[in-house]
């Protein structure tokens, strides 16, 4: 009978341990998209014509909308240049509209991107480029 009691106690402690770990690991989603996007997002991969290419160290930093204008900096690792951009969310927050201020510096992300996935640490966006098909970019913080 003592073994059975010890078993129940160990089982109870294990359940408490597992549930407390999973609660601390799960992060509550930041509701305001303007707050959630702020920070440095590294390009993990880019998909074009169903071919996925790993990121090369390029990134976008969304600086926020403190002055009313939402601004950011993009860095293209392949030519080591950076540029600036403005951005807004569509009215239903399912699109991210980026306007590059200088397409010769940094990446060229101008356009209306469809938001496929958007968590606190992962952003997946896609855009139909017409002739070149749909491009999908996966970014992580």
Query: pLDDT, tens digit, for every residue of 25-69?
Result: 567 999 999 999 999 999 999 999 889 999 999 999 999 887 778
Which residues fall within 8 angstroms of residue 92, CB to CB, at 6 or more apart?
none
Closest residue by Cα to residue 140 from 119, 126, 116 = 119
Six token digits for residue 77: 């690792």
Cα–Cα distance between 99 and 111 in angstroms, integer?
7
**87-101: pLDDT as tens digits:** 999 989 999 999 999
Q: How many CA atoms lie within 13 A of 38 on its CB side?
A: 10
Q: Is the pLDDT of residue 2 over 70?
A: no
Cβ–Cβ < 8 Å for 63, 72:
yes
* Residue 68: predicted pLDDT: 77
pTM of this structure:
0.78
CA distance 32 to 70: 14
């Amino acid at each position: 009978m003592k073994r059975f009691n010890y078993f129940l106690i160990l089982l109870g402690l294990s359940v408490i341990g597992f549930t407390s770990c999973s609660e601390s690991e799960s992060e509550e989603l930041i509701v305001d998209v303007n707050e959630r996007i702020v920070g440095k997002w590294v390009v993990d991969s880019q998909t074009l014509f169903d071919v996925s290419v790993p990121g090369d160290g390029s990134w976008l930093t969304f600086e926020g909308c403190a002055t009313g204008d939402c601004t950011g900096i993009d860095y293209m690792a392949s030519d080591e240049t950076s540029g600036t951009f403005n951005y807004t969310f569509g009215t239903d927050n399912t699109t991210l509209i980026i306007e590059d201020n200088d397409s010769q510096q940094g990446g060229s992300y101008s356009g209306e991107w469809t938001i496929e996935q958007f968590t606190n640490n992962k952003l997946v966006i896609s855009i139909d480029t017409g002739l070149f098909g749909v491009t999908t970019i996966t970014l992580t913080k």
